[in-house]
Structure 1
């Protein structure tokens, strides 16, 4: 055994403890870095002396030769990561759903002093007042103006809901671009990792960057990951490249494999059509990583959950029919349109049977008409978006048919009957009245909103619990790092002291020992 062996052993101790101190400093520096996983030096004893083989000395046992830094590994639990991404996916869905419903509630604004119900209530009251004083020009003007207020309320709801739906379509486009960017970034990180690992290194910071992207991606739709080794001299703890896929209808579709990434595109892109309506999404087209033909996925194959699925459900997807759409906003717009159409048709039917003030005694006129029609136009094309009071009546309120017969200026029976429309059961609304139908719509929206908020709270709580569990494993604890710093510092000092001791021994042997008798 070499006399200088103690120096080499202590030198290894110095270098290894120094590496541990540097790693501790790296952890402390990144204590507040988002997505950073704490790292540790995997110390391992070097081979004992003497080694194995036929030329080995016959002395019993082995003498240790010190320590070395085997690898610098990040602390991460893949199972906890998987749980986190599952909960993050659920939260992405319900957060998006809550946001969409909240915006809809802001538009409908019920119950309030400024919503549709208030406008309708004032309209019915003005008709009752007109029934008492049918010849009064002021009462007639009030009916016309409050009728226009009802039409304006319908117009506002339709326009606002359509604008939000359009914005949702734009958000889907932006989200799709973002998803494609994430997939490309993951493939690029795979490329970098595959270049580093075969040389025996662990690119821990690249692993963290890739996991942060996977976390973000999981919010859009559910993903599955699988690691593939890089080969070469890669360490056993190396994580390799990751293959990312998602399940649709029970089948896995690969999105990232090695250095290749797929691209997603909604089909069609949710843009406003020629008729100024938002085009429903019929599906998703995926350009696979294998270079094969694109995979068109129909509306029945849309994603199972996640933010992207929630936005598509809110915006509207094709129902397989003749250009129809189903979803949160298309359904609500349809209900509001049905309500406006049923209301206007019933009101116009009764109004056409009445008579205006003499001497014209005009009759057969629709009170409500579409924006592009006037006078005696039919109400077949009426929607919440184009309903208004007939310009012919707006120009002269004497044409308002408050009387049931001509030449009876004081006859307000038809005005009374118009006011009673609020109590009529309408076949086109499944036998509901205008008021009860709208209350049902608002009630269902409230229930859906409460459900979305409750599920958001629950999934956020579950995600928080998993996130805390992951933080307890991977996050940097300054107290723990300070303890480690003291531990490694003392070990470093002890190795340095050992070198001093060996140096003194060697000095004694070399300089303090002479030949006997001289």
Structure 2
């Protein structure tokens, strides 16, 4: 009998010792991240049947298990993934928001300063100082475009680095999870119970993985866990882990793409992964960075094209026709920069993009592929096919895409089946814009055409207006700094007139009818002449009245072209004639600001959810030191009591021995 309660005492001692070890383990890991509190389950041993009754045989350790709630952990991992995505997105978006909204770097202030300088020259067309200020403001405006684009390029490089670093971390964590799967499966399969600390380590690795990317997990019968990313692509399957690799996009080498390297080959996952830091980088790139490049570039193209177009219709202080104010948007080098050949192309086609109408440009990028004997142009934002055309019979050739505001220029070579080309009509324009004028005298403030009324006229006819539409016509180019020919409008009666060459007095055409007294009449249009300019006459000319048209030689005080340049500030020359320059850029500022504010609000909400679920997890699985201390006292007392049982058993056993002597 003494042996029975000796065994009972020993069983109590051993089971209590195990419980004390577990409590001590909990206390030691109270501050270990991801640790789940453990408990020792003490069970009653099977009783012994003796003398017709069952006699207890003590206690034993049934299991040491984690206090763990899988649903709470999954919720925590999901919230952590969402929070980290928003944190990265907000950090990157805030930088762009500060950049475009800052008065010292944004475009609207630069545009305002530029057009203020234009107005000053219009007020003082002979002032060299005012012209110099305009040159300076033009350079500063171009510099703002350049700086904004370079800052976005710098941010692109940072995003690429972030994506690459995240990919490496995901790969490392995936391998670590696979290694832990091996250990856990071996322990579970060997009948050794649940390896709690290994399970905690794996859960911690999976939670760290959730910080980087959204994941789904699937528990296996052998205790291992499979991990999936994107649209169900397997990162970890049992003991095998795939690699996530960031590599240069074959369509766009400035960006990095993601592939999942598996035993079966590479699987592109850029378009499918989300959540975590990686999702934050990718979403920022798609929603803010790429549109930012394109909006800035689109405004740069519109500013360059409109200012250049109007400036070239004017005349400078040297009596020369106006030249380019900013960079020619269809410079051959710039056109080629707008197309990137896919690195896998096998054909020899060399392409470019010619900007036809900045007013029709959008913020979209495109893909041009050669398939089925045709070129197919697709908007990569909407995935809509916008044009399809066969290859030209000979190169160079230009194919207009009217709906998009540009043309595809096929310079040379031929595409092979399957060849792809990335088309970026606007992305690089912010970096391309530069000042072309270097001397104040080159500013074309005047119009090159002057019209006057003969002093001998007796009627009430007057010059209602002079407009210039094209200075590349022979009338402007045949003779430098002169019209070829200068004109005289000679009225033969109240409604008809002749058009004469002022140099020879020869009639060019006439008599021309259709003049309507007392309203504005476009004289060259009535005469059917396209000279690149127009003269409007109103009132009631009398027979014999004449009106002279000549080159505006020495028109230094003329500000007519500068006034027209100034009008461009408020002209709706963008977004299908619905926006001016500042409004178009202002939409980018507003859009980035709205997205940044939304991300800030959502991040705060996500942070609160993470804290809430973390607290819930801690209340379930965390170590409460006060509670563990109380358990320690309880188990210490039980241990001492079991020791006392052993002591009593020894004493009784000794008494039995002594009684037999």
TM-score, normalised with respect to structure 1: 0.83
Instruction: Tell me if structure 2 keeps the 8 A contact 1:368–1:389.
Output: yes
* Larger deviation, residues 92-101 vs 443-452: 92-101
Matched residue SS, 1:140: helix
Deviation at 1:210, TM superposition (A): 0.5
Match of 2:278 among 308, 314, 336: 308
Q: Would you say 1:286 and 2:260 are equivalent positions?
A: yes
Change (3 A) 1:68 1:458: same
1:477 and 2:644 correspond: no
**Equivalences for residues 193-342 of structure 1 within 5 A:** 193-197=184-188, 198-230=190-222, 240-246=223-229, 248=231, 252-266=232-246, 269-270=248-249, 278-279=254-255, 281=257, 284-288=258-262, 291=263, 293-294=264-265, 296-297=267-268, 302-316=272-286, 327-342=287-302
Partner Cα separation in structure 1 for residue 6 and residue 328 of structure 2: 97
Aligned length: 466
In structure 2, relative to structure 1, the CA distance for the partners of 1:400 and 1:494 (3 Å cut) is same
Aligned to 2:111: 120
1:333-372 matches, within 5 Å, as: 333-357=293-317, 360-369=318-327
Q: Kindly indicate whether the alpha-carbon contact (under 8 Å) linking 2:575 and 2:584 is maintained by their aligned counterparts in 1.
A: no
SS at match of 1:286: strand
Can you list the C-alpha shifts for 1:143-163, whole angstroms capped at 9, x where unaligned?
111111111000001111122
1:371 touches 1:388 (CA, 8 Å); kept in 2?
no
- Tell me the TM-score normalized by structure 2: 0.66
CA distance in 2, matches of 1:352, 1:254: 61
Give 1:397 deviation, angstroms. 1.2
Partners of 2:161 and 2:102 in 1: CA distance: 30
Structure 1 residue 224, shift from structure 2 partner: 2.3
Structure 1 residues 280 and 420: alpha-carbon distance in aligned structure 2, compared to 1, 3 A threshold: farther
Question: Shift of the alpha carbon at 1:105?
Answer: 1.2
**Aligned partner of 1:409 among 556, 580, 583:** 556
Unaligned runs of 5+ in 1: 51-56, 231-239, 317-326
Query: What RMSD over aligned residues (CA atoms) do the two structures have, in Å?
Result: 2.7
Q: Aligned in 2, Cα 1:332/1:246: closer, same or farther, shift over 3 Å?
A: same
1:14-71 CA deviation, whole Å, 9 max, x = no partner?
A: 1221121122111111111111111111111111112xxxxxx4422x2211111222
Structure 1: distance between partners of 2:77 and 2:278: 15
Cα distance in 2 for partners of 1:479, 1:298 equals 48
Match of 1:388 among 434, 439, 449: 434
Distance 1:313 1:474 in 2: 34
Q: Alpha carbons of 1:105 and 1:369: their partners in 2 closer, same or farther (altered >3 Å)?
A: same
Counterpart in 2 of 1:237? Answer: none
Rounded to whole Å, the distance in 1 between the matches of 2:297 and 2:56 is 86
- Specify the SS of the correspondent of 1:85: helix
Q: How many Å apart are 1:280 and its aligned residue?
A: 6.7
Q: Distance in 1 between matches of 2:151 and 2:217?
A: 41
3-state DSSP of counterpart to 1:265: strand
Larger helix share, 1 or 2: 1
Query: Which one has a bigger Cα radius of gyration?
Result: 2
**SS of equivalent to 2:153:** helix
Contact 1:120–1:150 (CA<8 Å) still a contact in 2?
Answer: yes
Structure-2 residue corresponding to 1:39: 38
Bigger share in strand: 2
Q: Report which stretch shifted further, 485-494 or 456-465.
A: 456-465
What are the within-5 Å matches in structure 2 for residues 128-143 of structure 1?
Answer: 128-143=119-134
Contact 1:87/1:462 (8 A) holds in 2: yes
Q: Is the 8 A contact 1:88 1:218 kept in 2?
A: yes
